[in-house]
Structure 1
Amino acid sequence: MTRQPIIAHLSADFPDPFIERKTPVIRALLELTKDSFTHRVVSINRGAVAPFRTALAAIKGAGTPELEYERRAFADGVALSYRAPPRGIMHATMLRQLGNVIAQDMLREKQLPDLLIGHKLTVEGIAVAHAAAIVDRPYALTIQGNTDVKILRARPDLRPLFRRIFHGAAQVMSFAPWSLEAIEARLGSRAGSSTIVPPPTELDAILPPKTGGNGLLTIFHLHGLKNKNLSGLVAALHILERRGRKISLAIVGDGNDADRAAAKALVGDLENVTFEGALSRDAIGERLNSASAFVLPSRRESFGLVFTEALFAGCPIIYPEGRAVDGYFKDSAFALFVDPMKADQIAAAIERMIDHEAETKSALRRWQDAGGPQIFARTSIKQNYTRALMEAVGEGSV
């Protein structure tokens, strides 16, 4: 029996002994494909270097501060907490040092991995490309649009490095079409393989849409209200109110006392907005199914699982253009995009969803019946992710 390919994953978004509360997306992808690969995780956590050491390193001839890190083993691999200067100072330099640490750890192992994966081009990708060169193995990348586009914009000086890393990858996987397009617009189209693989959700049971919904619904942790653009939603509701439209919005999600106070202050005197607190995962599908539409015009969003969860649950969506699930839907009545910075666009999309609920949900039902959700189903994601990884390690397609 041939052994499974060994895949080494470098991710800052993997729950580990240093920070348990991280997004489960990368872990879910590994869990889905564990029958085809032996996954080893290097989970990283960044802390700040003491200010005097950053200043010292900036003095000509003083050299680069040596990477300080702490290592902790856990069930999925090893977690590293490392220190680097704040505000992106020596961003690439410190990540290359991290790549050295990772490579030396691999060389001490009895068996090198067949493939290394950096789960963001502009962060983990730097360390992974450096480590892969040392251990003489191919590497792959995951594009996460929120962080990758932000850093590419902020660091034009590192664009040549990012370009080399992007084009040198054996495989590039992106959560959504828009994020791959955004990277290629800045770094050039790849000649090598690229694959769109959405993150999996456990809430993929199909619930047929039902008309007569109880208004708009949004779901987010209240601590993130700025990025989730609650202010834009509130501005849109005020626009509609001035037109004589009082459309209700329910906010599902909780936070601490300060988060709740900030959210309520933003909502102000809008009587048609209610806070429903947190819901269990099991209850989210039914709550989405009862709404007229789901709306989340985030300022930044790499994907946003809640959008696909809404569609599985029979709830039309309003999502931010050039973010989140953009690129998966074209001219779809049940999935409207808006510029999150334009409250009038958000208001127009809300009005259209409410006024044409029956028509919108009928279109969503046709999409469900025609197999539209299949691309977001765990079986398809497993197959596509496995194929992409196999191709990258040179095992051929499956």
Structure 2
Amino acid sequence: MNILHIHSDYPDGRNNASTPAVKSLLDATSGISNTVFVIHRTPWPWQVRVIPHNEKLYTIYYWGLPFGLALSLSLFLTRNLLFNLIKKQQIKCQLIHGHKLAIDGTLGAAIANLIGIPYFLSVRGGSDVRILQHKALLHPRWKKVLEEAEHIFWVSSWAQNPIKKMLNASINQSTNKSSLLPNPCEMSQLSASRGISRAANFVTVFRFDQYDRKGIMPLLESIAKLSVNYPDIRLDIYGSGPDKKMKIVQDKISALSLEKQVTIKGRIDNTLLQQKLKTYSAFLLPSKNESFGMVFVEALFSGLPILYHANTGIDGYLDGIDVGIKVQSQAVDELADKVEELIVRHDFFHHRIKCALETNALDMFEKKTVVSHYQGLVDGLKLECPNVK
């Protein structure tokens, strides 16, 4: 079986910010051939082009204006561009998987309908919710895309209710039409037994070019507030990014006189990340507009409780497990209260992490679990290869 994937965030060497989650999933499947169309928007018509890397990977620059202007026209032209590429390259596929609802999935659905084959749909809350909120006129179209999918993968668990509500979509969970599909974690879960010397020894990891969205400035202010009563509080920051962005964060640290409490550690290789994480007491990242947030899973697998933001990222996956604290905003007072709770209830949260690891409550994030779920749904389809004319 050959599956055609349409994804705007697949590592093709053209976008340094792309994530390896989908590639990791596809590489781990067996008995499935995957052809990937990596789509990038350009506002300049003369830059529209197709770059074939090999017969299984194509980079496509499609025309589209900023802020979703003329989005319907852009989708129409791009659908034709992709369909003509399929015909020209004589790509035979029995299933299409669009990896985001608003753009990738809408194109996937349109092409699947032209060919006469089913399609899978992934929904990632960050960009999908944002686009849907600003394009009410396209809601009927997205509702149709959602409801007619062979299967819906909710990568962002929290996005289910707001998207269904916005689109007034009816999806019966009992029909096995949809399921959660977290990004597969490459790390292994560490042993639950670990010693932590201090309860206020915190860590965070992010790309500095996204410091504002990650809530780092109010987090630093909350650390400054807490340092009055907890003078031994520490926060180490790992990550890379433009020097000017790192300087903005460092200047904030200096302005708050936090040089002894907060240290920018810089970039860390992902192979060393877990060994570093396990030496801390908790992971803090009140980030907004996250589709998933793999670093939260990596922290949990390292035995750390987490502080995370509601209605974004990993929210919805941890209900009832009590392995972290959820904030409703990036307000300094709320962040300070929740970070203090991690200090005061340090033993409780580490006991909950221990229980989660011992009872396999976090296995849903394991790569083998995610791949097995995806593989099973694909293998369960009885598909024929149509002729593309």
TM exceeding 0.5: yes
SS in 1 for 2:67: coil
* Matched residue, 1:344: 333
Contact in 1 for aligned 2:288/2:313 (Cα 8 Å): no
Correspondence 1:40-189 to 2 at 5 A: 40-49=35-44, 69-75=48-54, 76-110=56-90, 112-187=92-167, 188-189=169-170
For residue 332 of structure 1, report the CA deviation from its aligned partner.
Answer: 3.8
For residue 391 of structure 1, report the CA deviation from its aligned partner.
Answer: 4.4
For residue 242 of structure 1, report the CA deviation from its aligned partner.
Answer: 5.1
Contact in 2 for aligned 1:210/1:361 (Cα 8 Å): no
Correspondence 1:283-302 to 2 at 5 A: 283-302=272-291
Q: Distance in 2 between matches of 1:194 and 1:384?
A: 12
2:258 to 243, 261, 270: 270
Q: 1:176 to 1:18 in 2, by over 3 A?
A: closer
* Matched residue, 2:202: 216
For residue 232 of structure 1, report the CA deviation from its aligned partner.
Answer: 2.1
For residue 220 of structure 1, report the CA deviation from its aligned partner.
Answer: 0.6
Are residues 1:204 and 2:198 paired?
Answer: no
Contact in 1 for aligned 2:321/2:356 (Cα 8 Å): no
Q: Distance in 2 between matches of 1:156 and 1:173?
A: 23
Q: Which runs of 5+ in 2 are unaligned?
A: 385-389
Are residues 1:225 and 2:206 paired?
Answer: no
Contact in 1 for aligned 2:214/2:288 (Cα 8 Å): yes
Contact in 2 for aligned 1:115/1:393 (Cα 8 Å): no
Contact in 2 for aligned 1:71/1:79 (Cα 8 Å): yes
Q: Distance in 1 between matches of 2:215 and 2:78?
A: 35
Q: Distance in 1 between matches of 2:149 and 2:79?
A: 16
After alignment, is 128-137 or 179-188 more displaced?
179-188
TM-score, normalized by length of structure 2? Answer: 0.90
Deviations 1:249-282 (A, max 9, x none): 1111122220111111232222311111111112
Q: Distance in 2 between matches of 1:365 and 1:198?
A: 21
Deviations 1:280-311 (A, max 9, x none): 11211111111110010002111110111111
Q: Distance in 2 between matches of 1:176 and 1:393?
A: 28
Q: Distance in 2 between matches of 1:245 and 1:391?
A: 58
Q: 1:277 to 1:326 in 2, by over 3 A?
A: same
1:356 to 334, 345, 350: 345
Contact in 1 for aligned 2:5/2:97 (Cα 8 Å): yes
* Matched residue, 2:239: 253
TM-score, normalized by length of structure 1? Answer: 0.88
Contact in 2 for aligned 1:14/1:26 (Cα 8 Å): yes
SS in 2 for 1:279: coil
Give the alignment's Cα RMSD to 1 decimal.
Answer: 2.1
Percent identity between matched residues is 25
Q: 1:99 to 1:309 in 2, by over 3 A?
A: same
Contact in 2 for aligned 1:236/1:344 (Cα 8 Å): yes
SS in 2 for 1:7: strand
* Matched residue, 2:323: 334
1:195 to 172, 176, 179: 179
Which amino acid in the other structure matches residue 352 of structure 2? A
Q: 1:240 to 1:330 in 2, by over 3 A?
A: same
For residue 393 of structure 1, report the CA deviation from its aligned partner.
Answer: 5.8
Contact in 1 for aligned 2:342/2:349 (Cα 8 Å): yes
